[in-house]
Amino acid sequence: MYLPYGVSDDGQLIYIESIGRGKTTLRCPYCNMPLIARKGERLAPHFAHDGKTCREVKRSGETVALPVYDSFRLHLSGKAWDALRRFHDESDDGDCYWLEDYGLVKSFITPYGNKRYNLTHKGKIPFGDLSLNLFNQFQEPLIRERYETLERVAWLALGQESEATKLIDLKLFRAQMRRILEATLYFVEVRTGEGVLHKIGVTTRPLEQRIAEIRHDLDPYFGTVEILSLGTWMHRGNVELYFKHRYRRFQRVIGRLTEYFAFDDIKRVLSDLRRMKAKELTDIEREVLNGEASSVERRILQPDEMLSPEAWYALCHLTKENLDRRYGIWHELHNFTWKGQHRSLIEPIPGTSSYLPRRSAFGEVYHAAFAAVYKRCSIEVEAPA
Ligand SMILES: [Zn+2]
């Protein structure tokens, strides 16, 4: 996978785009190896190890990447991409019967009884044909799903060998979410002596500061320019790259600057931007934006994952008396369910028919991981009345 973050000496995650290329003082979040910032022409910017790449970063796939954020080919195979392109460019629907299985096209029956196909929202993304508003609606659930998967996987890895790796995966994904959520998307008009240009971008600072920098960037090319804000959209860092993809035909490259456009119909672009619904933050997103640690790191238990005070006490002190204190304690410990999986907290002592069990491997993990939580809830480790 592409490593997008390195860890600084003070433990902060530093994003690849916020530092220059070459050797860095940052380290790999997984293995602590020094990192080099790779910013070539061909591959997306990423960190490489200054030495042997660790197993965690060698993993294939997009584990910690934001879905449909910086690559819009949707990881289609060459064959699927070709077939989709032929349908889009040449109306050749010969392969649509199987493209439908990928959710890229959808069939319908015409009033004359013929079967025809349309591109779905997903199928429109590789061509940039999906509006910005619908793009948000398509991407948001994908981000949410990947987040939930990573969180669940991290919870299930509790006490296992992979625990540290899964927790870092979750942290890196949260860092990615935070980066797009704390960004404000802006769109400005730039009046130069040679005509009008438009610029898309994101910033976490007041727009006036950013505009002063833009003026400075453009000075060598156009001299003094007039800059007018046409809109800002909070928490919409997710859209910037899709916007560039959607309007790539109108891009006007100025030296090394790639965020400028010369549009022939600016009204259409403005209405595309203005149709985007204001971002409503979910509880998780608000938490991520505030820089809080994940529920896994904070050891937050759901109500149905909390034992009754008597069962917790019995787990802490496994004696016959404590297990018999109330009917059902044994059952509660034995049939414990963790993130949808049956994970008994106790098991019989092997080689005996003893009624008295001991903690299972997961029982040990649970006991160690959540003792502080029970203590915070004032469920003290002493015999309940
Ligand atoms: Zn590493």
CB-CB contact of 84 with 104 (8 Å): yes
Ligand 1: distance of its center to the CA of 58 in Å? 8
The verdict on residue 274 lying in a domain is yes
pLDDT recorded at residue 117? 97
Ligand 1: distance of its center to the CA of 238 in Å? 27
Tell whether 184 and 210 lie within a shared domain.
yes
The verdict on residue 383 lying in a domain is no
Ligand 1: distance of its center to the CA of 365 in Å? 26
Ligand 1: distance of its center to the CA of 35 in Å? 8
Tell whether 161 and 218 lie within a shared domain.
yes
pLDDT recorded at residue 384? 53
Tell whether 46 and 190 lie within a shared domain.
no
Ligand 1: distance of its center to the CA of 170 in Å? 16
Ligand 1: distance of its center to the CA of 31 in Å? 4
Ligand 1: distance of its center to the CA of 257 in Å? 32
The verdict on residue 233 lying in a domain is yes
Tell whether 212 and 320 lie within a shared domain.
no
Tell whether 311 and 261 lie within a shared domain.
no
Closest CA to 177 of 39, 303, 54, 13: 13
**Which of 298, 323, 352 is a domain's end point?**
298
CA 347 from centre of chain: 38
Ligand 1: distance of its center to the CA of 27 in Å? 8
pLDDT recorded at residue 121? 97
State how many domains the chain has: 4
* Tokens encoding 170: 């979750």
Residues pairing with 189 in the sheet: 198, 228
Tell whether 282 and 186 lie within a shared domain.
yes
The verdict on residue 67 lying in a domain is no
pTM of the model: 0.91
Ligand 1: distance of its center to the CA of 34 in Å? 8
Tell whether 265 and 172 lie within a shared domain.
yes
Tell whether 238 and 251 lie within a shared domain.
yes
Ligand 1: distance of its center to the CA of 278 in Å? 38
The verdict on residue 72 lying in a domain is no
Q: How many CA atoms lie within 13 A of 196 on its CB side?
A: 8
Own/partner long-range contacts of 341-346 (Cβ < 8 Å, ≥24 apart): 341/156, 345/315, 346/315, 346/318
Tell whether 52 and 91 lie within a shared domain.
no
CB-CB contact of 346 with 331 (8 Å): no
The verdict on residue 94 lying in a domain is yes
Tell whether 372 and 247 lie within a shared domain.
no
* Tokens encoding 162: 């992979």
Q: What is the pLDDT along the chain (385 residues), one digit of tens a residue?
A: 999 999 999 999 999 999 999 999 999 999 999 999 999 878 889 999 999 999 999 998 888 999 999 889 998 999 999 999 999 999 999 999 999 999 999 999 999 999 999 999 999 999 999 999 999 999 999 999 999 999 999 999 999 999 999 999 999 999 999 999 999 999 999 999 999 999 999 999 999 999 999 999 999 999 999 999 999 999 999 999 999 999 999 999 999 898 999 999 999 999 999 999 999 999 999 999 999 999 999 999 999 999 999 999 999 999 989 998 889 999 999 999 999 899 999 998 877 767 788 999 999 999 999 999 898 876 655 555 5
Q: What domain range is 227 assigned to? A: 134-298
Ligand 1: distance of its center to the CA of 175 in Å? 17
The verdict on residue 381 lying in a domain is no
Closest CA to 372 of 288, 323, 312, 330: 312
Ligand 1: distance of its center to the CA of 48 in Å? 8
Ligand 1: distance of its center to the CA of 309 in Å? 42
Interacting residues of 31 by C-beta distance below 8 A, sequence separation 6+: 49, 54, 56, 57
**Which of 298, 327, 357 is a domain's end point?**
298
Ligand 1: distance of its center to the CA of 229 in Å? 42
Ligand 1: distance of its center to the CA of 107 in Å? 46
pLDDT recorded at residue 378? 67
The verdict on residue 32 lying in a domain is yes
Ligand 1: distance of its center to the CA of 154 in Å? 18
Tell whether 260 and 317 lie within a shared domain.
no
Ligand 1: distance of its center to the CA of 49 in Å? 7
**Which of 298, 320, 340 is a domain's end point?**
298
Ligand 1: distance of its center to the CA of 256 in Å? 31
Q: Dihedral angle at the C-alpha atoms of 205, 208, 209, 211, nearest 10 degrees?
A: 110
Ligand 1: distance of its center to the CA of 56 in Å? 6
Burial class (CB in 10 A: 0-12, 13-18, 19+), 23: exposed
Ligand 1: distance of its center to the CA of 30 in Å? 5
Ligand 1: distance of its center to the CA of 44 in Å? 18
Tell whether 206 and 323 lie within a shared domain.
no
pLDDT recorded at residue 385? 54
**Distance (Å, whole) CA 81 – CA 201:** 29
